[in-house]
Amino acid sequence: MNNTSAQSPAVSRILQAIRAVVGDGSVALHEPRFAGNEWAYLKDCLDSTFVSSVGRYVDRFEADLAAYTGARHAVAVVNGTAALHVALQLAGVQAGDEVLVPALTFVATANAVAYCGAIPHFVDSEERTLGLDPQALRDYLGATTELRDGRCVNLATGRVIRAVIPMHAFGHPLDIEGVLALARDFHLEVVEDATESLGSTIHGKHTGTFGRMGVLSFNGNKVITTGGGGAILTDDTELAKHAKHLTTTAKLPHRWAYVHDEIGYNYRLPNINAALGCAQLEQLSGFVEAKRRLHARYQTAFAGISEAHILVEPEGCRSNYWLQTLLLDEPVADLRDELLQATNDAGLMTRPVWMLMHNLPPYRACPSMPLPVSGSLEKRIINLPSSVTVGSA
């Protein structure tokens, strides 16, 4: 039995608001839903014996993803981290380069930079979107870098800043137009991290399709899942061909010979995972609508809570609301851990935002701009139960 007598009044009110939405019993943070053709497609895949990296479901999944997002090409890979890794390589990121990465992100964003032998350079976010703040970054780069031979050079380290990775946190679209303008002015490549925002749009255009490349993830906790899985989106036909080549061990086509013309990766999505993805993608529009209805219910439940609010999509954007995001007000930020304990003790799986990247042991020595907003958000964000079935009974 949960002892609520020791809870602060604000925590009790917030707990009651969550219960009003999710109902009784234990509730997971995010679970997949399999209610379509998953069993049929998986059986068809098994019957065909094509369960690995070759098969018609891989081709279909890529075509369906391209059609849904509006990208000219989609290249399916084993996970979102692999997609980021290869996209950064294709963007020209080299060992010793720096890449601008939001401090407020999942560790995979920074790890993909490190896989290239490059150095993450951590930047601040804005509270309105939780995403990279292009104006703050513009001011920072203006004071700390210079353009040499068409390249952005960090004056403190002497290294080239090659690229920027804007990440749409929890599916909420960030100010991508501001990021693209910044990238043009400072000669940066843009690799858009849309791993959490499948189904989100900005002025009707799908996230992940604004820069030369964007990446998606289909992990088990994402809006749709292939078990694992990710994809690279691009309108550049040559880039897409190169991405597919690199992620298929860089093997040259031949009926029997094994010739690999560059260092490649065994990153192709298996056909059996793609079969699951095809069935999930057929239901994606319904999943997004369910999440948007859930968001509306949370907003209603929290309308009377003065200490916190539910994050709302920016104007002109449409969020998939992958993870519903509660933002505590600054004066009650110290209640975050009490609220996390109270909700999880009650069987409600809630989670804080990730530890900021510059505080993680592998990245403490990396360059960083001042991070006042990210530091504040880290103390105040709580993700609420967000499965498409939550509160639908």
For 310-326, write each residue's pLDDT tens digit: 999 999 999 999 999 99
User: In the listed set 264, 281, 298, which residue is the last one of a domain according to the structure?
Assistant: 281
Of 281, 314, 335, the residue that ends a domain is 281
For residues 20 and 52, membership in a common domain is answered with no
CATH of the domain at 75: 3.40.640.10
Report the mean per-residue pLDDT for the chain: 96
pLDDT band, residue 112 (cuts 50/70/90)? very high
Q: Which residue has the tokens 């979102």?
A: 80
CB 366 within 8 A of CB 154: no
- Are residues 59 and 146 part of one domain? yes
Residue 3 lies in a domain: no
Q: What are the tens digits of pLDDT across the range 327-337? A: 999 999 999 99
CA separation for the pair 347, 368 (Å, rounded): 38
Q: Which residue has the tokens 């080239």?
A: 160
Q: Within this chain, do residues 22 and 62 fall inside the same structural domain, yes or no?
A: no
Asked whether residue 391 is assigned to any structural domain, the reply reads: no
Could you give the CA distance from residue 129 to residue 325 in angstroms, rounded to a whole number?
A: 11
Give, for 113, the enclosing helix (H) or strand (E): helix 107-115
Tell me the per-residue pLDDT of 28-58, one tens digit each, with 9 for 90 and over. Answer: 999 999 999 999 999 999 999 999 988 899 9
- The identity of residue 17, as a single letter, is A
d(CA 251, CA 262) in angstroms, rounded, equals 8
- Domain count across the chain: 2
What's the rounded Cα separation, in Å, for the pair 65 and 269? 13
Q: What is the domain extent for residue 375?
A: 9-33+284-384
143 and 290: one domain? no
Q: What pLDDT does residue 353 have? A: 98
Q: Could you tell me if 190 and 288 lie in one domain? A: no
Same domain, 139 and 249: yes
Are the C-beta atoms of 369 and 123 separated by less than 8 Å?
Answer: yes
- The reply to whether 229 and 109 lie within a common domain is yes
Residue 222 lies in a domain: yes
Quick check: 211 and 239 in contact, CB under 8 A?
no
Check whether residue 147 and residue 81 sit in a common domain: yes
- Residue 270 shares a structural domain with residue 329: no
Of 227, 261, 281, which marks where a domain is finished?
281
Q: What is the mean pLDDT of residues 387-392?
A: 88
Q: Which two tokens stand for residue 243?
A: 């991405």
Residues 45 and 75 in one domain: yes
Q: Which amino acid is at 26?
A: S
**Is 224 part of any domain?**
yes
pLDDT tens digit string along 2-29? 445 578 999 999 999 999 999 999 999 9
Whether 93 and 235 share a structural domain: yes
Strand arrangement of the beta sheet that strand 317-318 belongs to: 205-206, 201-202, 317-318
